[in-house]
Amino acid sequence: MRLLLRAIVDGPDASVADDLGLRSVPGGRVAALASPWDTAGVVGEADLLEHHGFIQAVFERVPCLPARFGSVFPDEAALRARLAEREAELASQLARLGHRCELAITCAWRDTRAVAPTAIVPVRSGRAYLERGAERQRDERGREGRAEEIATRLLAELAVEPALVRHRTCPRPAVAVSMSVLVTRDEIGGINSRLERLSAQLPDVTTVVQGPWAPYTFAVSE
């Protein structure tokens, strides 16, 4: 039976799988939690959200590392073998990250006209064409600069260690800043208050905070 990996937990925590309808596969100090996977080929948004649902359910119960969607194994033996190869690294990551959670902070541009797809408008001359291109480039540079300013203010307001923050500016047309912060649950209230205060001073973006989530951004493949 094929298995889709959902999360990695400490070996002694593997029993949480029973409550959630997951299969646990032991791998020394760690264990993998997985689901039977018989979907052929194309899957969709519902599968992604289900994956997130499983991870959150595990994360609410025990420390875990979330698995990137898409790790499918032909059978339990294959997953067990892969787990054994990575046991030390996964155990180390779990000890470092498992008790922390991720807050996703997104600053989206309020003025959506500026980031709407450019309409194709006929131009009368080559000069007009070039001027329009230059204007578009100026706008883009302006948004990039502003996004950097917003990111700097966010980082200053959050005042957390650089190792606990990842951010990107202008990752998509509608988004100025996408930031992930690794926090303890005790810190969430304080961070939300600080962001609320800061967002009132950023009139050109809408700030959305999501989480706490399992530490997706900080769980990496080494």
Residues that bind another protein (CB under 8 A): 5, 8, 32, 41-45, 47-48, 51-52, 65-73, 79, 82-83, 86, 90, 93, 102, 104, 106, 108-110, 112, 171-172, 174-175, 178, 180, 195-196, 199, 206-210, 213, 216-217, 219-221
| Smallest separation (angstroms) from another protein to the CB of 33 | 12
Whichever of 129 and 173 has its CB closer to another protein, that residue is: 173
**Length reported for the chain:** 222
Q: Which two tokens stand for residue 176?
A: 């100025």
Whichever of 61 and 206 has its CB closer to another protein, that residue is: 206
Whichever of 158 and 219 has its CB closer to another protein, that residue is: 219
| Smallest separation (angstroms) from another protein to the CB of 36 | 15
Show contacts of 125-133: CB within 8 Å, 24+ apart: none
d(CA 170, CA 20): 38
For residues 180 and 104, the answer to whether their CB atoms sit within 8 Å is yes
For residues 183 and 191, the answer to whether their CB atoms sit within 8 Å is yes
| Smallest separation (angstroms) from another protein to the CB of 201 | 12
| Smallest separation (angstroms) from another protein to the CB of 130 | 25
Closest CA to 210 of 108, 103, 109, 107: 103
Whichever of 131 and 139 has its CB closer to another protein, that residue is: 139
| Smallest separation (angstroms) from another protein to the CB of 126 | 27
Q: Which two tokens stand for residue 186?
A: 């005790």
Task: From residue 77, give the alpha-carbon distance in Å to each of 35, 74, 87, 153, 180.
Answer: 14, 8, 15, 49, 35
Whichever of 2 and 61 has its CB closer to another protein, that residue is: 2
